């Protein structure tokens, strides 16, 4: 790999995301030799700090969140960090900050989405050198109208190929492997359709609770935090038509096609579930009720569990339900995409109908399992359940590390495109509206339980 020499500007450089994910990701790149020496990393934020004060903050964050990278690499990134105090929504402050970095930088908006628009407007006023790249964190706006406004300003600022709407799930090994599994093999793709598949479940259950993120999470909730972006991107990769090439243009076009064909839920009580955890014990650890956590506004009714079922109106998928769910403070971590096949047309063996074949794509730890029926060691004329199971070794770069590398290379293949971002809002907006109007009850579930009554 060629080392990149682009400079990196983080707007919101003292925030949780920067300390938890961006700086650790950049450290991995230093460690892997991807980041050339002499690249500037400039953080901009409101705190009135010096470079040295910022470096001290960064050193602590890295000790906490980048323990997997040798200390020498952490020191090397810290030594390159610069800091500039400023208001990211003011053109004058941005101009002064950008004057400190060389060449065409990556500008990363590690900010609350409420300030994306004024920040991008200020950036558009300043302008960026040709070849610059802008990355915007999720959720991309607060609704469809907002996403459209953000896209309009971004397009004034840069060509679409230079815009990176971050979704770190696209950097996860198993999500990338769906491309390999489907499009580098002969055996799966012929079965990958409504003729053979009964339903698809996309599940991201977490044992983690709020983790002190009320400031962000309480105005987002599970639907906007996970199901508007990460889970829909997984749906897009699982359900899209074959791309001509694994590059930004083909992937964006094929993912956009399939998202356009997703039919938003119509019967909200039947097709959606919302829940919020109350006090309980998660794997032996007591957790207070979400509503009592610091910074949570209980009356806002923010959900910590969201689920919905959609159909895809196209030739390949007509009639196959796709069920997406994610929740916090659940009893077990379950991160997987499950494709359930239809039963065999005729069962020649005794012992009743066999279980249908299941393909399970597990995330973190990554793996792929094909659960099938075989003649086992028991009754020779009966079948038993067996699993072809591959555990995938961990990758050198984390999902964020990989995304940052692609970003520095100016490759938007692992980004959400403008159309995809808007289509994703189109799909979830009716759900948000129905939930805001209390058309679907907010079910309470104890922390550590299986969650609310689910349709899965």
Residue 418 CB, nearest distance to ligand BG6 (Å)?
20
Q: Provide DSSP, 243-288.
A: PSSSSHHHHHHHHHHHHHTEEPPSSHHHHEEEEEEESEEETTEEE-
Residue 439 CB, nearest distance to ligand BG6 (Å)?
25
* Feature table: binding site for NADP(+): 87-88, 138
Q: Is 230 a catalytic residue?
A: yes
Q: Of all residues in this chain, which one has the CB nearest to ligand BG6 in the complex?
A: 225
Residue 208 CB, nearest distance to ligand BG6 (Å)?
6
Give CA separation, 90 vs 71, 93, 154, in Å.
36, 5, 17
Q: Does position 137 bind ligand BG6 by CB under 6 A?
A: no
Assigned token pair, 65: 């969140």
* Feature table: binding site for substrate: 168, 206, 225, 328
Q: Which of residues 208 and 391 has its CB atom nearest to ligand BG6 in the complex?
A: 208
Assigned token pair, 126: 């300043």
Q: Which of residues 58 and 363 has its CB atom nearest to ligand BG6 in the complex?
A: 363
Q: Which of residues 4 and 228 has its CB atom nearest to ligand BG6 in the complex?
A: 228
Q: Does position 364 bind ligand BG6 by CB under 6 A?
A: yes
Catalytic residue among 65, 155, 196, 230: 230
In three-state secondary structure terms, 13 is: coil
**For residue 445, what are the β-bridge partners?**
277
Return the residue matching tokens 């969140």.
65
Q: Which of residues 206 and 422 has its CB atom nearest to ligand BG6 in the complex?
A: 206
Cβ-Cβ contacts under 8 Å for 23 (sequence gap 6 or more): 58, 61, 62, 65, 66, 77
Q: Does position 303 bind ligand BG6 by CB under 6 A?
A: no
Q: Provide DSSP, 132-162.
A: -EEEEPSS-SSSHHHHHHHHHHHHHHS-GGG
CB crowding 49-85: b at 16 or more within 10 Å, else e: beeeebbebbbebbeebbeebeeebbeebbebbbbbb
- With CB under 6 A as the contact rule, the residue among 93, 201, 206, 371 that binds ligand BG6 is 206
* Feature table: binding site: 87-88, 138, 168, 206, 225, 328
- With CB under 6 A as the contact rule, the residue among 28, 31, 201, 225 that binds ligand BG6 is 225
Cβ-Cβ contacts under 8 Å for 390 (sequence gap 6 or more): 367, 368, 369
Q: Which of residues 39 and 287 has its CB atom nearest to ligand BG6 in the complex?
A: 287
Residue 295 CB, nearest distance to ligand BG6 (Å)?
15
Q: Are 192 and 320 in contact (CB under 8 A)?
A: no
Total residues at the site for ligand BG6 (CB under 6 A)?
4
Q: Does position 423 bind ligand BG6 by CB under 6 A?
A: no
Q: Does position 28 bind ligand BG6 by CB under 6 A?
A: no
Taken in order 152, 153, 159, 163, the sign of the CA dihedral is negative
Residue 29 CB, nearest distance to ligand BG6 (Å)?
18
d(CA 323, CA 309): 4
Q: Which of residues 364 and 444 has its CB atom nearest to ligand BG6 in the complex?
A: 364
Residue 269 CB, nearest distance to ligand BG6 (Å)?
26
d(CA 41, CA 29): 13
d(CA 41, CA 190): 47
Q: What positions carry a catalytic annotation?
A: 230
| Interaction site with ligand BG6 (CB under 6 A) | 206, 208, 225, 364
């Amino acid at each position: 790999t060629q080392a990149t020499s682009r400079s990196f500007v983080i707007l919101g450089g003292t925030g949780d995301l920067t300390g938890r994910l961006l700086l650790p990701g950049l450290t991995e790149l230093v460690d892997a030799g991807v980041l050339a020496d002499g690249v500037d990393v400039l953080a901009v934020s409101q705190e009135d700090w010096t470079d040295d004060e910022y470096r001290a903050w960064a050193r602590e964050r890295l000790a906490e969140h980048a323990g997997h990278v040798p200390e020498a690499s952490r020191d090397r990134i810290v030594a390159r960090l610069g800091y500039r105090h400023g208001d990211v929504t003011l053109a004058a402050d941005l101009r002064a900050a950008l004057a400190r970095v060389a060449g065409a930088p990556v500008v990363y908006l590690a900010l609350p989405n409420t300030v994306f628009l004024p920040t991008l407007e200020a950036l558009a006023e300043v302008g960026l050198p040709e070849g610059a790249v802008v990355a915007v964190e999720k959720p991309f706006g607060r609704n469809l109208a907002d996403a459209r406004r953000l896209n309009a300003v971004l397009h004034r600022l840069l060509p679409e190929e230079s815009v990176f709407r971050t979704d770190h799930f696209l950097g996860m090994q198993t999500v990338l492997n769906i491309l390999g599994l489907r499009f580098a093999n002969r055996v799966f793709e012929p079965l990958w359709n409504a003729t053979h598949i009964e339903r698809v479940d996309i599940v991201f259950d977490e044992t983690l609770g709020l983790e002190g993120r009320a400031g962000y999470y309480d105005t987002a909730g599970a639907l906007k935090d996970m199901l508007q972006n990460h889970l829909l991107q997984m749906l897009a990769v699982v359900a899209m038509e074959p791309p001509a090439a694994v590059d930004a243009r083909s992937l964006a076009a094929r993912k956009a096609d399939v998202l356009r064909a997703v039919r938003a839920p119509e019967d909200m009580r039947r097709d959606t579930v919302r829940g919020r955890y109350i006090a309980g014990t998660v794997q032996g650890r007591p957790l207070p009720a979400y509503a009592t956590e610091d910074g949570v506004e209980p009356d806002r009714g923010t959900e910590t569990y969201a689920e919905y079922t959609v159909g895809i109106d196209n030739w390949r998928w007509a009639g196959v339900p796709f069920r997406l769910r994610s929740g916090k403070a659940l009893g077990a971590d379950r991160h997987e995409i499950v494709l359930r096949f239809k039963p065999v047309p005729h069962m020649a063996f005794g012992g009743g109908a066999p279980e249908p074949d299941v393909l399970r794509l597990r995330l973190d730890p990554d793996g792929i399992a094909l659960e099938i029926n075989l003649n086992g060691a028991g009754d020779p004329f009966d079948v038993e359940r067996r699993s072809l199971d591959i555990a995938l070794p961990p990758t050198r770069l984390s999902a964020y590390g990989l995304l940052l590398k692609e970003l520095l290379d100016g490759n938007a293949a692992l980004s959400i495109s403008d159309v995809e971002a808007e289509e994703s809002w189109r799909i979830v907006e009716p759900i948000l509206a129905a939930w805001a109007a209390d058309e679907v009850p907010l079910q309470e579930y104890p922390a550590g339980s299986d969650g609310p009554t689910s349709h899965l």
